[in-house]
Structure 1
Amino acid sequence: MDIMAMTAQLAEGFLVTVQIFVLTLLFSLPLGMLVAFGRMSRCKIIKLIAKLYISVMRGTPLMLQIIVVYFAPYYMFRMKMGPSYRFPAVIIAFVINYAAYFAEIYRSGIESMPNGQYEAAQVLGYNKAQTFIRIILPQVIKLVLPSITNETITLVKDTSLAFTISIAEMFTVAKQIGAAQTSVMPLLAAGIFYYVFNLIVATVMEYIEKRLSYYR
């Protein structure tokens, strides 16, 4: 296999990697906010459920969670999902895992806001929803963005765990090509792809941080 053919196959795997990355962020960021609200809820049952969820998701390996999400429908409900369920299973596992981490990041940011912010909003006539959306949330986003950036960069590398259930993302494709050619070159090429993707994500997040800093 020549370099062009190998690059083309790696590019196909790279597209799958990008899909996992984008879909995970798209769903885990808002889900993390909902879990954070549950974690801070005054209802003890909701708070306990959210706390347990976060503890389990952060305390068990992502690889194990992928396996559980993929095989659980069959072993628990005898539902045969088929190979087409592999990609959705990966997305579900990644989303529920990263939502737990984002929830704790959001919670730390929200709880760090001084009470004076809420009191000032109340004086101005804002209700709780308006206070959070217009005053608290913009400040929280600026505050937690560095932590979210770290998790986002970690996500780039974690996408390789999709190989656990034979998703043909870039790492899996590189291993298959390397095994066929008895060469490490495909893995090295995949490493370059990951590095470049990681660099692009880090640059974008840094740009967003700088733009938001103008409004402080």
Structure 2
Amino acid sequence: MSYITNITGFILQGSIITLKLYAVTIIFSIPLGVVCALGKISKSKGIKVLLELYTWIFRGTPLLLQLFFTYYGLPIFGIKLTQFQAASLTFIFNYGAYFTEIFRGGIESIDKGQYEAAKALGLNYRQTMMKIILPQALKRVLPPTSNEAITLIKDTALVAAIGMGDILRAAKEVLTRDFKITSFVVAGVIYLLLTSVVVIFFKKLEKKYSVYE
């Protein structure tokens, strides 16, 4: 039992990196997704083309490949980033691309009559979006957003590939040292607990915004 306690403490140290990366990604990728989604439904063809290219690249290539390019490839062009900076930048743009499509779909799912009603009330575009469209769209995008938020926890394990000391890397170090699979079991339990917290959080959000159904 003391062995499990000891390795759990060591692996939990890796969770600091996992949680930091998770927080940074969520904080920046969701607003990025909202802005890009609004851009994709705008009347500007130039913006639409750029955003289509952005989502096409980041949704169409593996996250690990993007991570390698950011950390190992950008220095070739004179852009040197720390491991955490490279991981954060990659995850923000990758998840921002997915959130863009999720939010775009949610916004476009709102009945056009809502826009007409807002116009009749004298609301401008910004007021229409903030007070009428986005609150309704938010309810509809919560399930897919929740799925992405859960996937993000698991995807953070990819940073072990560039030497970051996250949960998975800590578990691998214990395995290499002790030749026991217990560390992976402990890591799995930690990931499950983290994803459970996310699930509970989004269920509460869904309940809160059910008023818009």
Whether the TM-score (by the shorter chain) exceeds 0.5 is yes
Measured on the aligned residues, the alpha-carbon RMSD in Å equals 1.4
Q: Which residue of 2 aligns with 1:30?
A: 31
- Please list every run of 5 or more consecutive structure 2 residues that lacks an aligned counterpart in the other structure: none
The two structures have a TM-score, normalised by structure 2, of 0.95
Distance 1:215 1:31 in 2: 24
Please say if 1:192 is aligned against 2:193: no
Work out the percentage of aligned pairs sharing the same amino acid.
Answer: 39
- How far off its partner does 1:156 sit? 1.2
Distance 2:116 2:198 in 1: 38
Q: Which residue of 2 aligns with 1:208?
A: 205
- Matched residue of 1:2: which SS? helix
- How far off its partner does 1:203 sit? 1.1
- How far off its partner does 1:41 sit? 2.6
- Matched residue of 2:43: which SS? coil
Q: Is the 8 A contact 2:30 2:99 kept in 1?
A: yes
- How far off its partner does 1:154 sit? 0.8
Q: Which residue of 2 aligns with 1:97?
A: 94
> How many residue pairs are counted as aligned between the two chains?
212
Q: Which residue of 1 aligns with 2:4?
A: 3
Q: Which residue of 2 aligns with 1:117?
A: 114
- What are the Cα deviations for residues 124-162 of structure 1, in whole angstroms up to 9, with x where unaligned? 111111011000010010111111011111111111111
- Please list every run of 5 or more consecutive structure 1 residues that lacks an aligned counterpart in the other structure: none
Please say if 1:179 is aligned against 2:176: yes
Greater shift after overlay, 1-10 or 31-40? 1-10
Please say if 1:107 is aligned against 2:104: yes
- What are the Cα deviations for residues 21-60 of structure 1, in whole angstroms up to 9, with x where unaligned? 1111100000011111222232222111100110110000
Q: Which residue of 2 aligns with 1:88?
A: 85
Q: Which residue of 2 aligns with 1:149?
A: 146
Distance 2:83 2:63 in 1: 15
Q: Which residue of 2 aligns with 1:50?
A: 51
Amino acid at match of 1:124: L
Q: Which residue of 1 aligns with 2:13?
A: 12
- How far off its partner does 1:80 sit? 4.6
Distance 1:215 1:38, change over 3 A: closer
The two structures have a TM-score, normalised by structure 1, of 0.94
Q: Which residue of 2 aligns with 1:126?
A: 123
